[in-house]
Structure 1
């Protein structure tokens, strides 16, 4: 998939996120809400690009993200939707 072009800028940190960075991002989102991702690096002091912040929140830190194995009912639903929609995973989600 590759690195987002915004992360090619000099001074933008790449690689794994630290617990401190996660805390900064979560605190900012709790106070200001998710949405204006371009403002996040500037207003938090994170040396990450806005896309990296958005993806970190969406894929790892957002409340309600389910971790672990699928239930038998969830597996059946996924198989049914895949048969119905093909590999349109975003539509299934």
Structure 2
């Protein structure tokens, strides 16, 4: 963002010099990851089976897992030995 002459004068009074010849940087926002890819990975970084997906529960503020075919749900990834897969409430 260019500096106005009024701002440059105020900064100069404080001893701050503005380099007008400095190259301008362009900042591009980049997606950290593909949302589709993220949805098939459980919270521990392991891939979910193809018929499972994960969703965010805003009430409990955690992920839950659901089977796209049977419509059953679980709080833990289906590969977890302690996972209890049940019908949704």
Task: Identify whether the pair has TM-score above 0.5, normalized to the shorter chain.
Answer: no
TM-score range (shorter-chain normalised) is under 0.3
Q: Tell me the TM-score normalized by structure 2.
A: 0.19
* Greater percentage in helix: 1
Higher strand share: 2
Q: TM-score, normalised by structure 1?
A: 0.19
